[in-house]
Structures are given as structure tokens and as C-alpha cells.
Structure 1
Amino acid sequence: MGKRNRQRGKLKAPTSTYGGGEVGVLELRGSMTPATRQQYNAVLHDLGRQTEDSWHRAVEFLFERLAVTWTINDVPTSGQKQLLMRFRMATQEERAFVRTALREHLTEHFPDLETP
């Protein structure tokens, strides 16, 4: 079977969109593998870090795994590397928006996971 035929059957995770206004629109993936869930719990409860450091790393981890696109001022950002770079240089207001969107998304789609 050729490569094109294999790609047709590939499933895509559902996405949800959050936000609007000045901080933009964030599109988040609606699925997470069991291994990623375990990694997230390990990052959130990392005993080798301060509580606040673990919390910040957990937010970044979730953003890295769940973000599909982030549109700010009508400029879309997509791709894991570009999204992570944009998140790392985000303003306080933008980071607060991302945290709120992630918390809402986890509550809705992953009720078994603890929110950061």
C-alpha cells in the first residue's frame, strides 16, 4: 500500500477553541494519550522542584501537548516549536489567558486530570 493510502485512514483529534479579543484565540486538541497523562502528572508533582516551578512547567507541558494554533492580532501561530516559542515570550495577560483556557479545557475534556 502506498503512503497516500495510509494517511487517509489517520484519525484527527477533535479540537476546541477558546478566547477572542485582545489575547487572541487558542485552539486546543481534545485528546491525550495515557503516556502523556502520566508524564503530565509527573511534571505537576515533581518533588525535585519547588511547587511554583512544577506548576509553571505543568502549564508549559500542557500547552506544548494540546495547543494546535494560537491567533493573536489576526496572526496565527501553529507548529509545536513556534507555539512554544510564542508562549515563552507571552505577556502576563496572554499567559493568564492560556492558563484559564487550559484549566477550562482540562475540566471539560479531561476531568480525571488535576488542573495546574
Structure 2
Amino acid sequence: LQVFVETLDKCFENVCELDLIFHVDKVHNILAEMVMGGMVLETNMNEIVTQIDAQNKLEKSEAGLAGAPARAVSAVKNMNLPEIPRNINIGDISIKVPNLPTFK
């Protein structure tokens, strides 16, 4: 329990009750780094913090993916096609495009 509290303090920089409430997912990840299957597997605070920091960096790098659908629609709208293709042929694959509404 002492290692868990000290790790929370390191990750949240002076942890308080509100940190636990508003960042329950991060608290769960910290606990998951320490305990698996009801057994404490990791008690090295530095190793736990390193893994949590790596996970936070990954989450930040994936944050840009949330806007991908909007960027895809914008790219399709900005395409300068003289007409909408009706058949798309790629090698042996032939795709018939249904009538689509115009993008404006």
C-alpha cells in the first residue's frame, strides 16, 4: 500500500482525493502495473512510473487520431473530380459505386 501511495504521489505530483476521482483510469493503470491476478508483481516505483509515463506518451500521440474521420470527409469534399466514378477497378477486383449525394 505504501508503494502504491508513493507512486500515485509521483505520478500526480502531490496527489489529492480529486486526482483519484477525476483520473480513475490512470489510478487503475498504476494499480494494474503493480498487481496482476491478485498478486503484487512490481514494487519498484521507478519502473512503475516509467511504464505509466510511456503509456501517457502513447495516449498523447494517439489523440490526433480522433479527428481522422473529419479530415477524411474534408479531403473527399476537396477532391476535384469531374464526375463521381461509377466503377472502381483494382486488379481483379471491381467495385460498383452506388449513387451518392453530392458534397457541397
TM-score normalised according to structure 1 size: 0.27
Whichever structure has more strand as a proportion of its residues is 1
Larger Rg belongs to:
2
**Between Structure 1 and Structure 2, which shows a larger proportion of helix residues?**
2
RCO higher in 1 or 2 (8 Å CA, sep ≥ 6)? 1
Q: Please, what TM-score do these two structures have when normalized by structure 2?
A: 0.29
